Each structure stands twice: as C-alpha cells, then as structure tokens.
Structure 1
Amino acid sequence: MDGSVPQQRMSLRYFSVAQLTSVVERSHARLCAVLVLLSLVCFLPGFTSLQPMDRDEPRYAQASKQMLEAGDFVDIRFQDEARHKKPVGIYWMQSASVAIGQALGVPEARTTIALYRIPSLFGAIATVLLTYWAALAFFGRRGAFLTAALMATCVILMVEARLAKTDAMLTACSVAVMGGLARAYLSRGAGVLPRRALLIFWTGFALGILIKGPLVIMFAGLTAAVLAYKERSVRWLLTLRPWLGAVFTLAIVLPWFIAIALKTGGAFYSEAVGHDMLGKVGTAQRYHWAPPGFYLVSFFATFWPGAILAAIAVPFAWIHRREEPVAFALAWIVPSWIIFEAVPTKLPHYTLPLLPAVAIITVMAISRHFVGPHRPAAKLATVLIPFIPVGLTIGLSAVGWSFDGMPPFRALPFLVVSSLLALWAWWLFVKNRMVPTLWAGFISAAFLAIGVFGFAQLDLRSLKLSDRLAEVARNVACDNPQVATLGYREPSLVFLTGTNLEMVETGAQASAFLQQGGCRVVFVEKRYEGEFRTENERLKQQPTLSTRIQGFNINSGRRVDLAVYATGF
C-alpha cells in the first residue's frame, strides 16, 4: 500500500494538469485571459522605470506633449521643427493617454513617459489577442494559443510594448487586417464573412493608415496580389465588401489628411513622402543603413525564443507551399520581407508585422511533427535557444561592471533562471517533446523580461544620462530655471526638461545664455568646456559648477562627461 501512494500522487498530478488544460481550452475567453496574463508578465516589468529611449521614443512623446501644450491636434511638431514623417494616429492616442492621466491626478503627467507608452502596451496586447484570432483561421484553439504565445514572448514585441512609438499599434492593426484577409481567402467558398470579421478588418485597415500611412496597405496589397495571381481571380476579395469598406476608411482618415494639407500647404506630404519614405528607399537615411540579409540575421534575436524553431520549419513551408494555409502565410511574409531587405534603411522592428505569419507556419510545422531533433543539424542548431538569455546575462554583467563598477545584482537571479529554462527547452527539444519545449521557452522569456527590463536597466545608471541631468535641473535652488545644453542633444533631454530647452552650438553661445540673467542652468560636454570657460572669463562671469554627470550615450556609442553650470540662485 505504501508503494501505491507516490504512484497515486503522480497520477493525480498529471490528471490535474490535463484537467486544467482541458478546462482552459473549452473557452476562447479563458485562453485569451491566459494570453493577457502572459503578455503582462512579459510587457510590464520596467514599463514605468525605463528611461525615455533615444532617439525615436522621446521624439514621439515630445510631439504629443506639444499637442497638449499648444492645443493643436492637427500639426505635429518637435520644438519649433515640423515633424512631418508619420500620420497623426499615435500622437492622438498618446495625447489622450496623458490627458486621462492628468485628469486622474498623476503627478507631472506630461513628463511621465509611461503614460505615453500606454498605447504601445495596448497595441502589443492587442497584437497577441489578434494573432490568436487570426490563427483560428488556420488551427483549432490550442494551435492558435501557441501561435499567439510565440508573439507574446518574442523579444521584439517585448521591446516595442515599452516604447512610445508606432510599431506595436501598427502591428495590431496589420494582424487585424491579415486575419480578415485570411478568412476571406481560406473560406472563399462560403461567399460571405461575418460582420465581426469585416469590422475588425476595416477598423485595422483605417487605423493602420492613420498610424503609419501606407505600410498596412503594402502588407495586405502584396498578399492579396500574390494570392490573386495564384488563383487567377480576385473574386474572393469581394467578400470583404471593398466599396463599403473604402467609404468607412475614408470617413476615418480623410478629415485629418485634408486638415493637415490645409494647415501646412501640402508640406506634410512633400516631407512624409519625399524625405521620410523615399529617403528610406534611397540613401537619405544612411545612419540606419544595413546590407540585405540584415533581417534574416537579426531574426534569431528578435523572434527569440521561437526563432530557431521557425528556421527548422522553413523546409516545411517550401514542401507544402501549394497548400492554401501555407500559401497564405508565405504570401504574408515573403513579398514584404524582400522589400524590407532591399530598402537600404533598416531597423529590427520593421518586420514585426510579419512575425505572426512566421509563428503560424512554425506551429503548423510542429503540429505535423515536422520540427524535431530528427531534422538535419537540428540538435546542434537549437543550442541557439539558450544563446539569448545566456548572452544577455554575460553582456549585461560586463556592461554594468565596465560603466557602473558592479554587475546588475538584482537582475542576475532572474537572468540565470531564464538561462536555465532556455537550456531545459533545448534538452526537451532533443528529447522530441515539442510543446513542452515551447512552454519552457515562454517561461524563460518571462523571466528574461523581469531580469532585463525590471531590474538590470535600473542598475545601469550610466545609461540614464537624460534622467540624471533633468533631475539636477529640477533640484536647483530656484523655481522654473531656463535650461540649455551644449554637446549633448538627445531628444529625451527635451522631453524631460521642457519644450523650451535651448540647444546651443558653441561655448560662446552657452556663456551668452547664462549672461541673460535670472535662474539658468547649462549642461556643457567636456570637449566644449575649455571654450566655455574662456568665454566666461572674457565676460567676467563666474557660474557655479553644480555637479558633473558621467555616463555612456547609447546612440553615439561613446562615454560622456557633462558639467552642470548654474547662475541666479
């Protein structure tokens, strides 16, 4: 009888796990609740404490802040400069988020970066849930859940969920569109789509245009063109009610597009199309240049922990390319990916809206037992599963030691656990236990998010230059000081210190700024300090050296030493 007790406990444990899984899978709502919980664990650590990440995030946030300051919700500006690069959608969302925060009494709401990030958080969660909805056109509930969980835990979505930019919300809109398009293609014999699918499709289409212009049109248009060529017909697109949808889209996007044309005399379009979009296609934005193949290489980091499994699934996609579900996913990925690789300007997040289709093919291949240790070189290749958390554990420890004199001790337990779980995922793969491999990867990603975003970034004070400078400016012994900066020109400093921050070009200008009288603070980078002091001696003024701020500027890739001078207190 004693020997039967462990066996009874073991069977009860397995029965409970199986029963719990069965109960959760009975309902879309329950599965979505689990996905939201997983998303929050991956997206929330560090959401409020991570500093504004130069350069794009504070540019978006500052432009939204200036909308609130000026009461102008048509034009988009960064200080005195017109920011005619993207449509207005994300700025409206960020402004609304901050306005609600102010109404609820959040202190210093307009310089609280977390409020500007809320639309990105909602966009990332919506991406996960809409990936589940889109994947239901290809799988049952379990397959759709695993597909969405791959998105919730992938590195690039975890990053974009924390940044006040367009990309998380654009991805949500794109997945809404592609989920509707998949239903139109895969169920084209039915002749009609449910109203809910039509509403999701056209709402995603309209909001996608209002957030980032033509990209959502490109994703849907290229996919539809490839499939129409394959079918030698476009009749299946009629189930999307295109005429009614076009009217709906124009009703949403046209008012602002007309208003900005009238407001700027057409300058918005010449800047957005002529400089921003064509600049990416041409050579105007060389500082983001990368060779073709950049996205294939970076994919193994951006889509971790699912990337290596997706790579193993590539032959499956080729073998089954004529099957309609696989054909749709490939039409979603391949044409747009080729364009992104061909365009000289490259950033890792550009391919984010294509990753749900990658997740669909990956889960499809796993469900058909194609992905496993029996594939050529798969056992060796899946060593890449622990590569990201192990690499980050070593890399962040080295960065902390080099810049701040100590490793990020608070983060290390979580990073180590993440690494061990990733190693376990690799061991499970070798044992051909594919679904447990996925789950080990999901949990590893959650611990990685807590370690990197929740704790490691808190300890890397040398990277928080703008935060530290703004804190010094707030704590000078006078109210509302006028602030200028020489040598350090990051947008995050504008966002944190105020729209009126002056960016001077020379030591003479910095000295002249202080001479204007009143309470004034100027940040002077060390390479300009000799010129600045010489000019002060000539003008016979002696500003007080309040403190020095030393750190590392991620964008310039160099160490920075800034002196803080003040007058008038």
Structure 2
Amino acid sequence: MDGSVAQQNLSLRRFSAAQLASFVERSHARLCAVLVLLSLACFLPGFTSLQPMDRDEPRYAQASKQMLESHDFVDVRFQDEARYKKPVGIYWMQSATVTIGEVLGVSEARTTIALYRLPSLFGAIATVLLTYWAALAFFGRRGAFLTAALMATCVILMVEARLAKTDAMLTACSVAVMGGLARAYLSRGAGVLPRRALLIFWAGFALGILIKGPLILMFAGLTAGILSYKERSSRWLLTLRPWIGLGFTLAVVLPWFIAIAIKSGGAFYSQAVGHDMLGKVGTAQKYHWAPPGFYLLSFFATFWPGAILAAIAVPFAWIHRKEEPVAFALAWIVPSWLVFEAVPTKLPHYTMPLFPAVAILTVMAISRHFVGPHRPLAKLSTVLIPFIPLGLTVGLSAVNWSFDGTLPYRALPALVAASVVALYAWWLFIRNRMLSCLWAGFISSVFLAIGVFGFAQLDLRSLKISDRLAETVKNFPSGTVSVGTLGYREPSLVFLTSTNLRMLDTGSDASSFLKNNSCAIVFVDRRFETDFRMENERLGLAPALSTRISGFNINSGRRVDIGVYSDDSGCP
C-alpha cells in the first residue's frame, strides 16, 4: 500500500512538472520571461555593491562622466587624455542611464557605478534573448530555450553583465547579426527574409560598429565568406537586402565618425586603428599577452557550467560538419576563434560573442543523444562541473583569510549550495539524465552568482582600496577640496573622487600640492612617505595624518599601505 502511494505521488510530481513545462513552452513570451528571470538571478547579485573594477571599467565610466560634465558628446576623454580606442556607442548609453538616474533623484548619480553598468546588464539580457531568437533557426522552442539558458548561466557573461564596458552589448549585437545571417543561410531557398529578421540584423550591425568598430564585421564577414565558398555562391546574402542595410548603417554611424574626425584632426583613426587594433595584432599591449591555446584552456572556466558538455560535443560537430546547421555554427566559431588565438593580446572575454554558437552545437549534440556517459572519458572529465564552484569556494576562502584574516561567512552557504548542486549535476550526467543535468547546472550557477558576487566580494575589504580612499574625501565640503595621489594611480580613484584628481610623481610634488591648495587632501603610498615627510619639514608644513588605508592592488599584484594626509585650514 505504501509503495503504491509513493509511486502515485512520484507520478503526480512528474505529471505536474511535465504540465508546467508544457505550459511554459506553449508560448515564446513565457519562455522569454523565464529566461529573463534566470538572467536576473545570475546578473543582479552584487550589481550595485561591487566596486569599480580596475582598470577598464572605471576608464569607461569616467569618460562617460566627463561627457556629462563637459556636455561634449563627440570627444571621448579620460581626464586630459584623449581616449581614442573605441567608438562612442557605449559612452552615449552610459551617459543616458546616468542622466535618467539623476532625473529620478539617485543620490550622487555620477559616481554611482551601477548606473554606468546598466547598459551592460541590458546587453547581457539582450544576449540571452537574442540567443533564444537565433537558436530558433536551428531548433524548436525547447532547444532554443536550453541554448539561451546556457548563455544566461555561463561565467563570462555573468562577469561582463556587471562591468561598465563594451563587451556584453557587443555580444548582443553579434548574436543579432549572426541570428539574421543564420536565417539567410538556412532558408536561402525561400528567397526572402521577414522584416523583423532584417531589422534585427541591421540594427545589430550598425550598433555593433558604433560600439566596437570592425569586430562585428569580422564575425559576420568570416562566417559569410566561408559559407559562400562552401556553396560556391554568395547570392544567398542578397536576401539580407545589403544595399538598403548598408545605407541604414551609414546613416547611423557616419555622423559621429565624421564629427570625431573633424574634432580630433584624424587622431581618433590613427590611435584606434594604428595603436589599439594593430597594436593588439602586432605586439601584445601591456601585460595581456598569452600564448596560442589560451582561449581553449580558459573556456572551461568562462563557459561553465556548459563547457565540458561542449567539449564532449566536439566530435559530433566534426562528424556532422556537412550538415547545414552544423556548418553554419562551425563557420561562426572556428575562423574568429583562430584569429583570437593568433593575436598576441588576449583577454578571456574576447571570444564571448562566439559562445552562442558553442551553445547551439552543445544542445544539438545533447538532443541527438551524442553527449552522455557513454562517450570516452566522459564520466571522468565531467568532474569539471563541480570543480569550478568547489575551487571558488576554497580559493575565495583562502584569499579572504590571507588578505583580511577572516572567512567569507556570508558567502559560504551559497557557495556550498552551488558545489552540492554541481555535484548532483555530475551524478545526473553519470546516470544519463541530460536534461536534469543541464537544469542542475543552471541552478548551481545561480547559487554561484549569489555566493561570489552577492556576498564574497563584500568581505574582501582589502581589494576595495579606491572605495575606502574616496570615503575619506566625503569628510570635506563637496566641491571645495583639492585631491592628489602619490603612488596609487588607479582609474577607479579618479572616477570615485574627481575628474581633477592630481596624479603626483614625487614626495616633493605632494608637499607642493598641499602648500599651494588651502583645502587639500593627498594620498601617499608608504614607498614615498620618507621623501614626502622630508619635504614637509623643509617647507615647514605639518599636514594631519587622518587615517591609513591598507589592502591589495590586484592590478599591480602587491600590497599597498596608503597614508591619507590633509590640510583643512582653508576649508569653508
């Protein structure tokens, strides 16, 4: 009797789950609503509390802030330096969200980094929804949903959704373009594309150029070139209405490109193309060099939790490479990936616009029962599913203990939950329950986002150097204090304090700065304090040491100890 009741309850639960799945899958709107909720669960924890992440994020945010301060929406500058590396698109978006924040009464909107991150959040959510739209050219609703969910829960998109940079929005534009291109190729016998597909394609193309220049052209151009070679014809591209689309693109992008050419006297093009783009191709800029194979190795972290499943699907892609959907996905991935591997300058997020195609191939292989415990070494290799959350749990605990002498107690429950669910996902894979394995991976990713971004970063006080320094400035009357820094020059400090932050080079410069400004505060790294004090004695100055800020600068890779000196004798 008891066994019969238990069996009935199990059947009822399965029936209810099947009913729920059927109800949701009955409508694109419902599936998209679930994807938005999943995306927000992965992207929102820590969105407002994470400090500006040096160095790129505060450079973008500061340049957008200066646009608002100067009312010059053509020129892009960081303090007095022209920032001619990327087009203007993301700066306009960030300036717009900050302006809306000011209108809505957000306190200190121009130094609230979350407002500058909103375009990246919107770009990340758009990436997920556009991945769903693009995948509908390859699958039914369930396959498209799983493809988009793999993007929503992958580590690299969770990171970029929280950073005020170009990459999340660029990926959204790339998926829009590639989704339109896929429809043109896979339905080329029909001879016509729906207006919506054309609008999405060309809007993504134009906006992609305005955000990051020629990269969008590389993704689409290499894919189209390889497929045209395969077909021995490029006539299928005519369904994209290229002349009308190019006219629309030029109407969108030309005004600013002409304006910046006039404004900069051509310096934008020489720096953006000659220094930034060709510099990455010719020699690795600064410390971003990595050998070929870097993206292949980093992929297992950046595309978690789907990475190892994608690796198992690689033979499937090779075996079925002549099938049109597989051929398109490979043309999307392989040539651009090889370009990125060949370029000396490498960063983990560069390959992110290719990940939707990876997700498509992965779901395709899973749906055909290619991916499973029967594949060679699959049971062993899928230990990588729990390895990432387990590794982060141990690693963040060790870092927190080393830097701050404590453990991330608030984060540990979520991190442990992520690890346990990931272990369960591994067990489900071994039992060949692939759909359940995918869902367990998605849930583990949500817990990981809560643990890492929502709580762990709050306890890493030693990494929040600029935030803590900026707090000391708030003790002075707003708009009257002059601020200088010696030895610590991170862009986040400029963003959080003042565009006019003085970057000082020597102890003598710091002393002169205090002497020449009646209401002033200066941050002095311990390495320069001896010279600073000697110069103060020579000039007869006695600035007050209000506090010391110690921590770890992840960019320089060293500990810092900064004295906060002030002279408030002339403050109102």
Name the TM-score, length of structure 2 as normaliser: 0.99
Distance 2:85 2:408 in 1: 38
Tell me whether 1:244 sits opposite 2:225 in the alignment: no
Q: Deviations over 1:82-118 (max 9, x none)?
A: 0000000000000000000000000000000000000
Distance 2:299 2:288 in 1: 17
Distance 1:353 1:43 in 2: 18
Aligned to 2:89: 89
- Preserved contact between residue 173 and residue 207 of structure 1 (Cα < 8 Å): yes
Aligned to 1:227: 227
Q: Deviations over 1:273-297 (max 9, x none)?
A: 0000001001151411000000000
Aligned to 1:480: 480
* Paired residue type of 1:72: D
Distance 1:325 1:376 in 2: 25
Aligned to 2:31: 31
Aligned to 1:142: 142
* Paired residue type of 2:198: L
Q: How does 1:126-525 map to 2 (within 5 A)?
A: 126-283=126-283, 285-476=285-476, 480-525=480-525
**1:2 CA displacement:** 5.6
Distance 2:156 2:509 in 1: 41
Aligned to 1:550: 550
- SS of the equivalent of 1:288 reads coil
Q: Deviations over 1:307-345 (max 9, x none)?
A: 000000000000000000000000000000000000000
- SS of the equivalent of 1:426 reads helix
Distance 1:74 1:3 in 2: 73
Distance 1:53 1:7 in 2: 53
- Preserved contact between residue 222 and residue 336 of structure 1 (Cα < 8 Å): yes
* Paired residue type of 2:280: K
Distance 1:256 1:110 in 2: 24
Distance 1:443 1:237 in 2: 40
Distance 1:428 1:5 in 2: 25
**1:72 CA displacement:** 0.2
**1:9 CA displacement:** 2.1
* Paired residue type of 1:432: N
How many residue pairs match? The answer is 569
Distance 1:52 1:332 in 2: 33
Q: Deviations over 1:370-407 (max 9, x none)?
A: 00111111100000111110000000000111111101
- Preserved contact between residue 64 and residue 95 of structure 1 (Cα < 8 Å): yes
- Preserved contact between residue 301 and residue 388 of structure 2 (Cα < 8 Å): yes
Q: Deviations over 1:36-94 (max 9, x none)?
A: 00000000000000000000000000000000000000000000000000000000000
Moved more, 475-484 or 60-69: 475-484
Distance 1:356-1:412 versus aligned 2 partners, 3 A rule? same
Aligned to 1:566: 566
Moved more, 282-291 or 78-87: 282-291
* Paired residue type of 2:230: K
Q: Deviations over 1:147-202 (max 9, x none)?
A: 00000000000000000000000000000000000000000000000000000000
- Preserved contact between residue 146 and residue 363 of structure 1 (Cα < 8 Å): yes
Distance 1:471 1:3 in 2: 64
Q: How large is the RMSD of aligned CA atoms in angstroms?
A: 0.9
* Paired residue type of 1:196: R
- Preserved contact between residue 484 and residue 502 of structure 1 (Cα < 8 Å): yes
- Preserved contact between residue 482 and residue 517 of structure 2 (Cα < 8 Å): no
- Preserved contact between residue 188 and residue 236 of structure 1 (Cα < 8 Å): yes
- Preserved contact between residue 517 and residue 568 of structure 1 (Cα < 8 Å): no
**1:568 CA displacement:** 2.1
Distance 2:492 2:454 in 1: 20
* Paired residue type of 1:426: W
Distance 2:3 2:307 in 1: 44
Identity of aligned residues (%): 82
Unaligned runs of 5+ in 2: none
**1:519 CA displacement:** 1.2
- Preserved contact between residue 284 and residue 344 of structure 2 (Cα < 8 Å): no
Q: Deviations over 1:477-519 (max 9, x none)?
A: 7863110000000000000001000000000000000001321
Distance 2:319 2:387 in 1: 29
- Preserved contact between residue 275 and residue 284 of structure 1 (Cα < 8 Å): no
* Paired residue type of 2:435: V
Distance 1:108-1:477 versus aligned 2 partners, 3 A rule? closer
**1:13 CA displacement:** 1.1
Distance 1:49 1:94 in 2: 18
Distance 1:270 1:102 in 2: 36
- Preserved contact between residue 478 and residue 519 of structure 1 (Cα < 8 Å): no
- SS of the equivalent of 1:547 reads strand
**1:474 CA displacement:** 1.1
* Paired residue type of 2:71: G
Distance 1:221-1:479 versus aligned 2 partners, 3 A rule? closer
- Preserved contact between residue 317 and residue 361 of structure 1 (Cα < 8 Å): yes
- SS of the equivalent of 2:86 reads coil
- Preserved contact between residue 120 and residue 168 of structure 2 (Cα < 8 Å): yes
Aligned to 1:45: 45
Distance 2:180 2:479 in 1: 55
Aligned to 1:5: 5
Distance 1:388 1:496 in 2: 33
Q: Deviations over 1:108-161 (max 9, x none)?
A: 000000000000000000000000000000000000000000000000000000
